[in-house]
C-alpha cells in the first residue's frame, strides 16, 4: 500500500511540469471556445526542429557508443511494434460494431511512435535528472516502421480475402512511405548528421536552447487538437475510445517489463527503460496517419486518428510519462 501511495504521489507531482501543463492548458482553452489557432505548417516545423535535435543528440551518442548494447533494446522495440498490431487484430478488430480494417489501422497507429510524445518524455526525464542513453530515442524507427508495415499488410490481406482476391502485398513501398514521413525523416536526418559529422557547436548554441520552448508550444497545439478530435471520435464505435484509453497503459507496461529485462542483461539505463515504455505507449501523430491513409484507404481515419489524437496521445503524455518515471524511481 505504501508503495502504491508513493507511486501516486510521484505521478501527481509530475503534473506540475511545464510540459504537461501546456498540454492541459491547450485542452482547457479549446474547451472554452478560444479562437486561437496555429497553422499546420508551424506545427510541422516545430516537430521537425524537435526531432532533428533528438536525432543529432542520438547520432553523436551512437558515434561513441558500444553498438552491442543497442541490440537487445532495438529487438524489443521491433517486437513491441509488431505485437501491438497483432494484439489489436485479436481484440479491437474483433469487437462488435468495429470494422476489421479500422481496428487493424488503429493498432498500427498505436504501434507506431509519436515524435512529440518522445520529445516531451526527454524533457521530463532531463528535468527529473533521470539518466538515459542518448541513443535511446533512436529506438523510434525500430518500433514505428514494423508496426505500420504489419498493420498495412494484415489489413490488405484481410480485405483481399474478403473480396475473394488473391495476390501479393508489396512491403517495400510501405517501408519507403514510412521512411519518407516527415517525423521519421527528421529523426533519421539528425541521427545521420550527428553520426557522420561534428555538429556539437550548432547543437549546443541553437538546437538545445530552443528545445524546451518549442516543445511547450507543441504541447499547447496538441491539447487544442485533442479536444477538437473528440467530436470526430464520437461518430465511430465507442470501443475505439475504450481501446485508446487502455492501450497506452497496457503497451507501456509491457515495454517497461521488456526494458527491465534489457536492464538486467545489458545494463540498459532506467531512463532508457522509460523511453522504451513511453514510445510504446504513444501513438503516431505525424507520419503514421498519412502512411495508413495511403496503405489502407478503406479504413476510416475518424476511427484511428480520432482515437489517437483525442484520447491516446493525451493519456500517453499526461499520465504515461509521469507514471513510467515514477515506476522507474521505485523499481530501480
Cα–Cα distance measured from residue 44 to residue 286, given in angstroms and rounded to the nearest whole number = 8
Question: Can you say whether the dihedral through the CA atoms of 50, 214, 277, 63 is positive or negative?
Answer: positive
Domain that holds residue 122: 2-331
Q: Which three cell numbers stand for residue 275?
A: 523511453
Integer-rounded Cα radius of gyration of the chain: 19
**54-76, pLDDT tens digit by residue?**
788 878 877 877 777 889 999 99
**87-131, pLDDT tens digit by residue?**
999 999 898 888 999 999 999 999 999 888 888 888 888 888 888
Q: Are 224 and 27 in contact (CB under 8 A)?
A: yes
Nearest to 174 by CA among 157, 190, 162: 157
* Opening angle at CA 288, ends 139 and 109, nearest 5: 85
Q: Tell me what pLDDT residue 168 has.
A: 66
Q: Are 283 and 306 in contact (CB under 8 A)?
A: no
Q: Tell me what pLDDT residue 255 has.
A: 97
Q: Tell me what pLDDT residue 74 has.
A: 92
Question: Can you say whether the dihedral through the CA atoms of 290, 115, 143, 68 is positive or negative?
Answer: positive
The CATH number of the domain holding residue 18 is 1.20.1530.20
Question: How many domains does the structure of the chain reveal?
Answer: 1
Q: Tell me what pLDDT residue 79 has.
A: 96
**Which DSSP category does 95 fall into?**
S
Cα–Cα distance measured from residue 212 to residue 21, given in angstroms and rounded to the nearest whole number = 13
Q: Tell me what pLDDT residue 126 has.
A: 84
pTM of the model: 0.82
Q: Which residues of the chain have pLDDT under 50?
A: none
Amino acid at each position: 500500500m505504501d508503495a502504491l501511495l508513493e507511486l501516486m504521489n510521484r505521478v501527481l507531482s509530475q503534473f506540475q511540469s511545464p510540459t504537461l501543463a501546456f498540454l492541459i492548458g491547450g485542452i482547457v482553452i479549446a474547451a472554452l471556445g478560444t479562437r486561437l489557432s496555429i497553422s499546420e505548417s508551424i506545427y510541422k516545423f516545430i516537430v521537425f526542429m524537435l526531432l532533428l535535435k533528438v536525432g543529432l543528440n542520438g547520432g553523436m551518442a551512437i558515434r561513441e557508443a558500444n553498438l552491442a548494447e543497442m541490440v537487445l533494446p532495438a529487438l524489443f522495440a521491433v517486437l513491441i511494434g509488431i505485437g501491438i498490431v497483432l494484439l489489436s487484430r485479436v481484440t479491437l478488430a474483433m469487437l462488435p460494431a468495429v470494422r476489421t480494417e479500422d481496428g487493424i489501422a488503429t493498432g498500427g497507429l498505436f504501434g507506431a511512435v509519436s515524435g512529440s510524445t518522445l520529445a516531451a518524455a526527454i524533457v521530463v526525464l532531463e528535468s527529473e535528472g533521470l539518466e538515459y542513453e542518448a541513443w535511446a530515442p533512436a529506438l523510434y524507427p525500430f518500433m514505428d516502421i514494423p508496426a505500420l508495415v504489419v498493420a498495412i499488410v494484415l489489413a490488405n490481406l484481410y480485405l483481399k480475402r474478403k473480396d475473394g482476391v488473391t495476390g501479393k502485398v508489396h512491403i517495400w513501398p510501405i517501408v519507403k512511405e514510412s521512411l519518407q514521413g516527415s517525423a521519421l525523416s527528421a529523426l533519421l536526418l539528425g541521427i545521420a548528421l550527428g553520426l557522420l559529422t561534428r555538429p556539437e557547436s550548432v547543437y549546443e548554441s541553437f538546437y538545445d536552447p530552443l528545445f524546451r520552448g518549442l516543445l511547450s508550444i507543441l504541447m499547447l497545439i496538441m491539447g487544442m487538437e485533442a479536444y477538437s478530435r473528440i467530436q470526430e471520435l464520437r461518430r465511430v464505435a465507442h470501443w475505439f475510445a475504450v481501446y485508446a484509453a487502455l492501450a497506452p497503459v497496457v503497451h507501456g507496461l509491457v515495454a517497461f517489463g521488456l526494458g527491465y529485462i534489457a536492464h538486467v542483461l545489458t545494463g540498459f539505463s532506467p531512463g532508457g527503460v522509460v523511453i522504451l515504455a513511453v514510445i510504446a505507449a504513444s501513438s503516431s501523430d505525424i507520419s503514421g496517419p498519412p502512411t495508413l491513409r495511403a496503405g489502407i484507404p478503406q479504413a476510416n481515419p475518424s476511427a484511428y486518428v480520432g482515437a489517437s489524437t483525442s484520447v491516446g496521445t493525451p493519456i500517453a503524455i499526461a499520465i504515461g510519462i509521469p507514471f513510467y518515471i515514477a515506476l522507474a524511481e521505485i523499481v530501480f
